[in-house]
Amino acid sequence: MSGQRWKSDELSVGQTLEATFWKNPNEDSKFPLRATHLEGRRAPKVVLSGDTKILPGVPCLIRITAIHKPERTDHGHIEAEYVGPAPFKIEGVYLDPLVSKKLQVALESGLNILLDGPQGCGKTVLARSIASSLGMEFVFFNCGAVVEATDFFATIQVRASSSGAPVTDFVKTDILLALEQAAQNPEQRYLVFLDELNRCQESARNALMPALDSTRKVFHPIENRFIEIPDNVLFIAAVNRGRAFSATFGIDAAQLDRFVPVQMTYLPPEEEVKLLVHRHPAVSRATIEHLVAVADKVRSSPDLEATLSVRATEEACIFLAHPLFEGDPKQQIPEVLKTSFCGRFSGRWDDVGTDAGAVWTVVTTTLRERGIKVRAED
């Protein structure tokens, strides 16, 4: 639904919808506020309002008061008035109620957000869902490839010239491209997602400090000058925590102070079941409950340094839904979990001295407790 565009005949005066307004870049307009999406779908015309109860950047419920030139696709606009605050929701993602409140306040205040949690708990999915729900352009950037401070904004590429001699070029990163586009398109909002921020060294992260505080500037390595961060750019970063992660660096207090830290963890089993049932209707609820129960036991094991991401249960569902694995799910589950669960740990599933072997012990014990027989040769 969020990728579709409203048709003019689907909207009518008096209709109540959710929208997020921003400052109208047209300073000569009598409407200081402007929105481009209604209920997460692109509006057929720009939505304008002069209602002082509407706060820029804060989702709200509005009522359509007028539709000008409804028959035209290239002219006219929609007028709206404030009805009330919008319920905070992120489609397709479970949020702890307290985390949801903190996230809502941070987003409404335009603060940078740091999602802190174990691998595969849904940080990237959450960031994408926020962008989709708020009608923002999502810009993904993996910080694991950053070595020097300039790598956030440009990379050096070597190519052959027409004469065959090597030529060095600066190539703009998606972050720098987004900043330039945001300056040219003030009506569009951009969410820059800095994934695995703690995989790049502290000295490189320091280049982002002016971008994340009130300075709101970064150094443009190609043009050799500082550029301003437009107001329509929001930063969300993510870090993975845990003993199993190598090549990670601590984030110091000054860098943490540029963010609102939001702690995340894995979904409660009942919520993970709901999510997987929705995403994989071809797999029975009973089968999904078995998978999640085993995953929960693995995640709560004190003897394992690594843990099990939601991607593992998702992958198991994909296998079990495939025709190659049709038949009694109780016979297929143990074989699938050798790959989807044990395969995410070091060693082999049949070697009890390894992490994979320890996971297999948890798998077989939990399945037997749930009435699923595991063959002795397994």
C-alpha span between 32 and 47 (Å, rounded): 11
Q: Can you give the pLDDT at residue 246?
A: 43
Query: Residue 105 has what pLDDT?
Result: 84
Residue segments in the chain with a per-residue pLDDT below the cut of 70: 1-3, 88-93, 241-250, 306, 376-378
Q: Which amino acid is at 216?
A: R
The confidence score (pLDDT) of residue 314 equals 93
pLDDT given for residue 1 in this prediction: 43
Give the model confidence (pLDDT) of 310-363 as tens digits.
889 999 999 999 999 988 888 899 999 999 999 999 999 999 899 999 999 999
pLDDT at residue 247 in the model: 44
Distance of alpha carbon 147 from its chain centroid, rounded?
24
Cβ-Cβ contacts under 8 Å for 162 (sequence gap 6 or more):
none
Return the pLDDT at 142.
Answer: 92
> What's the pLDDT score for residue 244?
45
User: In the prediction, which pLDDT does 297 show?
Assistant: 94
Give residue-wise pLDDT tens across range 27-76: 889 999 999 999 888 999 999 999 999 988 888 999 999 999 888 777 88
The pLDDT of residue 242: 55
Nearest CA to 245 out of 106, 120, 93 is that of: 120
Distance CA(160)–CA(169), nearest Å, equals 10
pLDDT value, residue 162: 75
pLDDT at site 376: 61
SS (H, E, C) the chain: CCCCECCHHHCCCCCEEEECCEECCCCCCCCCEEEEEECCEEEEEEEEECCCCCCCCCCEEEEEEEECCCCCCCCCCEEEEEEEECCCCCCCCCCCHHHHHHHHHHHHCCCCEEEEECCCCCHHHHHHHHHHHCCCEEEEEEHHHCCCHHHHCEEEEEEECCCCCEEEEEEECHHHHHHHHHHHCCCCCEEEEEECHHHCCHHHHHHHHHHHCCCCEEEECCCCEEEECCCCEEEEEEEECCCCCCCCCCCCHHHHCCCEEEECCCCCHHHHHHHHHHHCCCCCHHHHHHHHHHHHHHHCCCCCCCCCCHHHHHHHHHHHHCHHHCCCHHHHHHHHHHHHCHHHCCCCCCCCCCHHHHHHHHHHHHHHHCCCCCCCCC
